[in-house]
Amino acid sequence: MRAPLSIALVVALATGPAFGQSSSADPAAGAPLPPADQAEQAEQADQAEQALDISSRFFGPRQPVDEAFGAYQRGLYLTALALALPRAEADDAAAQTLIGELYANGLGVAESPARASSWYALGDRNGDIRATFSLAMLYQQGVGVPQNRQRAAELIAKAAAAGHLEATYNLALLYIEGRYVAPDLIRAAELLRETAEAGLPEAQYDYGIMLLEGSGVAPDADAGARYIGLAAAAGDVAAQVEYATLIYLGRGARQNPGLAAAWYRTAAEAGNPVAQVRLAKLLAAGEGVSRDLVEAGMWRSLARRQGLIDAPLNEMLRRLTAEDTARAEECARFWPNRPPLNTTSAPAAPAAPG
């Protein structure tokens, strides 16, 4: 959704000269205004000042244009580096973080996690929480720096305290793990709820699971299903599988095998083997979808490629003819551009939960 124009900008457009019109084009410019016009001008100036004050309170103070970041957004990575270096050498934290991103991702320069870590360390020292979190992830994974989970936890906590959303989510996971911070499921649930409400799909899924299990929070199947549904609608594949199962079982959501099949299909098409097996079972049974053993066989083959073999599914498909088995295998070879199947149309993509 497009961000609204700031109030100050609206006022400026309303009170300033028309586009392409010079403010000095009027030959009377600079001449004394009648008292009524002077009062009107003063009122407009006062309104503009109030609007700027309101804009600052709602949107923060106006920031100078960051030309380096603008070049980065346009894919002009070497230009971004050239513009950022002088600022970085003058201890500009944002510029140091930007250079770290370039080296971390090999954008315009040879990928170098070690150099990235050095720039992130400078950005962290100078107060950029994005650098703090990025450096934490390098320590977490042991990329560019020796792995140090304790140091990573300290940096995650620092970034979370400064309001970094992903850091807050990762801090919740640390409280669940309970190795590098003291275990605290209640605090973990609080942080997951905070990040879930901010729209982070991973947090929505994890908080939903905690609600279903009553872990660190009072059990609430309805709320748990709702949060997992939000994560599923945002594209989290694990949440899509879980949400489909909740709908199939009628746990925290209205039971609906057809909608469950649609969600399984969404996750199956994203390559999830569990969803592929469960969709195959529904297709083999004709539950929530039209019965189709060939398509069921195709999904079984795709799941097998990823090492998931399901004995009950094999039993459901034991009557598949040799010809149909060959067709299913052929479809799996062509997937996702599989040959046409003699099936009814696949269910429409499921709508986002209400």
Model pLDDT for residues 120-173, shown as the tens digit of each residue: 999 999 999 999 999 999 999 999 999 999 999 999 999 999 999 999 999 999
Which has the closest alpha carbon to 165: 215, 126, 204? 204
Taking the C-alpha atoms of residue 326 and residue 318, their distance in angstroms, rounded to an integer, is: 14
- Assess whether pLDDT exceeds 90 at residue 17: no
Give tens-digit pLDDT for 191-217. 999 999 999 999 999 999 999 999 999
Judge whether 154 and 181 are in contact, CB under 8 Å.
no
Which one of 3.10.20.440, 3.30.70.1560, 3.20.20.370, 1.25.40.10 gives the CATH number of domain 67-183? 1.25.40.10
- Assess whether pLDDT exceeds 70 at residue 344: no
- Assess whether pLDDT exceeds 90 at residue 98: yes
* Structure-token pair, residue 241: 């599988």
% of the chain beyond a pLDDT of 70: 77
The reported pLDDT for the residue numbered 228 is 98
- Low-confidence winner among 8-17, 192-201, 240-249, 300-309 (lowest mean pLDDT): 8-17
The reported pLDDT for the residue numbered 51 is 52
pLDDT mean over 320-342: 85
The reported pLDDT for the residue numbered 66 is 85
pLDDT mean over 307-322: 96
Give tens-digit pLDDT for 246-284. 999 999 999 999 999 999 999 999 999 999 999 999 999
The reported pLDDT for the residue numbered 203 is 98
Taking the C-alpha atoms of residue 282 and residue 257, their distance in angstroms, rounded to an integer, is: 9
The reported pLDDT for the residue numbered 8 is 33
- Assess whether pLDDT exceeds 70 at residue 41: no
Give tens-digit pLDDT for 174-185. 999 999 999 999
Q: pTM of the full predicted structure?
A: 0.75
Taking the C-alpha atoms of residue 49 and residue 40, their distance in angstroms, rounded to an integer, is: 14
Where in the chain is CATH 1.25.40.10? 67-183
pLDDT mean over 227-256: 98
- Assess whether pLDDT exceeds 70 at residue 28: no
Q: Which residues, 6 or more positions from 329, have their beta carbon under 8 angstroms from its beta carbon?
A: 297, 298, 301
- Assess whether pLDDT exceeds 80 at residue 10: no
Q: Which residues, 6 or more positions from 68, have their beta carbon under 8 angstroms from its beta carbon?
A: 80, 83, 84, 87, 95, 98
- Assess whether pLDDT exceeds 60 at residue 63: no
Judge whether 130 and 69 are in contact, CB under 8 Å.
no
- Assess whether pLDDT exceeds 90 at residue 350: no
% of the chain beyond a pLDDT of 90: 76
